[in-house]
Amino acid sequence: MKIAIMGAMIEEITPLLERFKEYETVEFAKNKFYTLKYKSIDITIAYSKIGKVNAALTASILINRFGAQKLLFSGVAGAVDETLHIGDLIAADSLAQHDLDITVFGHPYGFVPESKVFIKSDEKLLEIAHETARALNLTLKNGIIATGDQFINSREKKEWIKKTFNANAIEMEGAGVAFVCDALNVPFFILRAISDAADAKAGFDFDEFLQSSSKISADFIIAMLERISI
């Protein structure tokens, strides 16, 4: 089986590379892809760089060039849901693009013709994630992740995204990955550990918690692999 694990930033994949230690590096499309074998799984790890375009490009490459049959995303996000605190895990059950706006033509936010507002994550991978959480005695919440090419650090903007998409968390890549995987029929799972509350102090919190939250997310993805490989 071939599995891709991606993040957006180097900090998000560093705990994975440190865990696996031995890998080969392949350069392609001005990016680096790390390939390795773990038990019976061929794994390719990459970070896309920030934003939906980079995320969509990397997801496409992981699938088309590296043959990924499942894609797992590990990273950090801003909390919208008040019950999510720094370090908490959230698994996307669906994702939308909060900055996609042709509403002047009568369409809802996040919608363009022949597409949809929300893309759903793979149910089997979500189940595996919850089995993993139970086994590790960790709390894993499912929710809606809203993605856009903006770092959100305002209560007002965050409230708008919450109201419009019923979102639990916000970040800058998930929906890009989800749309690519959906179009190419590849099961995907998007996990985020909270790094900030997308409020006025989000910039400070993000810098302080990027590393620790990235590790929480990456460790969970590694634990999930044990169950995917069985």
Q: Is 114 exposed, middle or buried (0-12, 13-18, 19+ CB in 10 A)?
A: exposed
Which residue bears the tokens 């950090």? 76
CB of 20 to ligand SAH, least distance (A): 22
Q: Does 78 bind ligand SAH (CB under 6 A)?
A: yes
Q: Does 214 bind ligand SAH (CB under 6 A)?
A: no
Taken in order 117, 167, 151, 95, is the CA torsion positive or negative? negative
Q: Does 45 bind ligand SAH (CB under 6 A)?
A: no
Stretch that binds ligand SAH, among 26-34, 35-43, 167-175, 219-227 (CB under 6 A): 167-175
Active-site residue, 93 included: no
AA letter at 215: K
Q: Does 151 bind ligand SAH (CB under 6 A)?
A: yes
- Encoded one letter per residue, x for contact with ligand SAH by CB under 6 A and - for no contact, window 170-209 reads xxxx---------------------xx-x---x---x---
CA dihedral 176, 185, 89, 32 (to 10 degrees): -60
Give the active site residue among 11, 12, 122, 173.
12
Active-site residue, 196 included: yes
CB of 147 to ligand SAH, least distance (A): 8
Binding footprint of ligand SAH, residue count (CB under 6 A)? 18
How many CA atoms lie less than 13 Å away from 87 in the CB half-sphere? 3
Q: Give the CA distances from residue 90 to residues 35, 103, 190, in Å, rounded to whole numbers and listed in that order.
A: 27, 29, 8
Q: Which is nearer to ligand SAH, 206 or 228 (CB)?
A: 206
Q: Which is nearer to ligand SAH, 147 or 228 (CB)?
A: 147
Task: Single out the residue of 57, 55, 64, 125 nearest to residue 97, CA to CA.
Answer: 55
d(CA 160, CA 61): 33
Q: Can you give the binding site for ligand SAH, defined by CB under 6 A?
A: 8-9, 50, 75-78, 151-152, 170-173, 195-196, 198, 202, 206
